[in-house]
Structure 1
Amino acid sequence: MNTPFDDIAFLANSENRVAIFGALVENPKSRSEIRDQVDTSGATITRVLRGLEDRNWITSVGQAYAVTPLGEWVYDEFTHLVAEMEAVHRLREPIQWLPDDQLTFDVQRLRDAELILVEESDVTRFLRRVRDFQASGDQIRGVTRSVSPDMVENQWELAVHGETHIDFVISPEVLDVVLGHQTACQQFNEMLDQPNVRFTVCEDIPMSVGIVDGKVGINLTDDQGVLKGGLISEDETVREWALALFEHCRKNGRDVESRDIRGE
């Protein structure tokens, strides 16, 4: 007698079985109609139909085959499992670049997150996506341990030449980088004079996270601190987590003022 594992393996070990099963879930079909839709041999179709019938997942109706209620249940559950495993496979490597001690939400919340990896063939792709992400909303909040002149310029354009509200918590190292770059320092100072901008310095920032309206961007870095990419999620639980991290870091920091830039 087949075990549950045997039934799972019956589908998991053959794309043809899943394709034929799925074709019949759409609507009843004859053998010829199945062959028109699924690119496989007649002998394979016969074997698959026999296996599906033996499990009471399909039944013959005249010259056609139709899925039974039990078969519909099985197909729904199997395709759901496949979708979950596809998400797991996609996020298998990125998840290891997130600090376990900071993730207070179930990582399944990231199943639908957009993944952007830093590619050697196009190292600017990630930065372009971050710029687009920050420009996609009216309010930018977050915490960061890294910065580039391009990112400072992007926020400067959004806040000074636009109406974007910016409230960011930065590490002392980020402030030092900004102060050490002439153009970035000038743009940063101009932002501080805007009523819609607030920067706070915090000593202890565990990771870089941005919140643009209802979306959350999470930087991915390896054990050596090398940027590997990022995730963008619209999950509400992830947003609540990001806001809590932001509020915690801002509460434990101090506001940056123009006199800090001028050295007064």
Structure 2
Amino acid sequence: MADPLAEVEFLARSHNRIEILATLAADAYTRRELGDAVDASQPTIGRVLNDLSERGWVDYDGERYAATVTGAYVADGITALRDRLATETRLRPIVDYFPTAAVDVGLDAFADASITTPSTPRPNAPIERMTELLAATDRARLVSHAFNRDKLELLHERAGDGSVTVEGVFAREAIDAIAADDRLAALLGDLLSTPDTEIRVTDEEIPFAVELTDDRTHFLLRDEAGVVRGSLDTADQRVREWAETAFRRYWENASQVSAGDIQSSVR
């Protein structure tokens, strides 16, 4: 009996083997058609077809090649593994800072996510990505354990000119930190006075910082010391549904904050 790991190694050693097997699992092809469908030379295609045929993964009816039942089964598994590893590789720089225990969505939902990390020329790149998304949206819904200055300043400007609707739920310590700074407290008070803004506060733990904009769900990622280590945003509907459910739950159990509350805190 063939060693399963040896078979995985056989496929993994050649991108062409995986591509040709997956292509034939989707449809039948002549050898010439297969050459148009995959990026490989005819001699390479011939060698791969022989290798796959020896394992019973490909059949030839005299005109076209197609994956057998077992070939299609193997193709499904190896491409799923390849895609998982591609996702893991992309997420690796930020996964330690992502609140996976609190975000009840499989990692495959983040396969196409936009990931932003600090760099030497752009140390504030994650914050810049956050403000880019908030600057382009008509409606911002936020749930967060923190309320940073950049976010507050942008929302203050946009809500002030009536270009965005703001609904936010923040941990009490986040609002208290704003209220303790005279300038930021004044900005928050102004923001709360705009007609399309409502901010609520909760004593519940919020283990993430997430913004829902028009078409993206964005996470700002911090380490245990509160230092921003990256950001992740996606248009995946599974992530969006999770975020909307999380927002509603925190929103319904939180208390509204008024401009007067902030003014009282400052005094």
Q: TM class by shorter-chain length? A: 0.7 to 0.9
1:79 aligns with 2:58: no
Instruction: Check conservation: 2:28, 2:65, Cα contact below 8 A.
Output: no
Residue matched to 2:65:
66
The whole-number CA distance in structure 2 between the counterparts of 1:89 and 1:121 is 23
Residue matched to 1:262:
263
Identity of aligned residues (%): 26
Residue matched to 2:247:
246
Residue matched to 1:187:
187
RMSD (Å) for aligned C-alpha atoms? 3.4
Partner SS, residue 251 of structure 2: helix
What TM-score comes out, normalization by structure 1 length? 0.78
Q: How many residues align?
A: 260
The whole-number CA distance in structure 1 between the counterparts of 2:171 and 2:72 is 54
Residue matched to 1:163:
163
Residue matched to 1:199:
199
Partner SS, residue 102 of structure 1: coil
What amino acid is aligned across from residue 31 of structure 2 in structure 1? Answer: K
Runs of 5+ consecutive residues of structure 1 not aligned to the other structure: none
What amino acid is aligned across from residue 88 of structure 1 in structure 2? Answer: E
What amino acid is aligned across from residue 198 of structure 2 in structure 1? Answer: R
What amino acid is aligned across from residue 240 of structure 1 in structure 2? Answer: E
TM-superposed deviation, 1:196: 0.6
Instruction: Check conservation: 1:170, 1:202, Cα contact below 8 A.
Output: yes
The whole-number CA distance in structure 2 between the counterparts of 1:17 and 1:142 is 46
Partner SS, residue 136 of structure 2: coil
Instruction: Check conservation: 1:140, 1:210, Cα contact below 8 A.
Output: yes
Distance 1:99 1:76, change over 3 A: closer
Distance 1:45 1:253, change over 3 A: closer
TM-superposed deviation, 1:257: 1.4
1:122 aligns with 2:133: no
Per-residue Cα deviation, 1:36-66 (whole angstroms, up to 9, x for no partner):
95379x5x6665343122123345687x873
The whole-number CA distance in structure 2 between the counterparts of 1:239 and 1:65 is 43
Runs of 5+ consecutive residues of structure 2 not aligned to the other structure: none
Residue matched to 1:235:
236
Partner SS, residue 220 of structure 1: strand
Instruction: Check conservation: 1:20, 1:38, Cα contact below 8 A.
Output: no
* Greater Cα offset, 189-198 or 90-99: 90-99
The whole-number CA distance in structure 2 between the counterparts of 1:104 and 1:75 is 29
Alignment of 1:23-102 (within 5 A): 27-29=29-31, 37-38=39-40, 47-58=47-58, 66-70=65-69, 71=71, 74-102=74-102
What amino acid is aligned across from residue 10 of structure 1 in structure 2? Answer: F
What TM-score comes out, normalization by structure 2 length? 0.78
Distance 1:39 1:180, change over 3 A: farther
The whole-number CA distance in structure 1 between the counterparts of 2:127 and 2:28 is 43
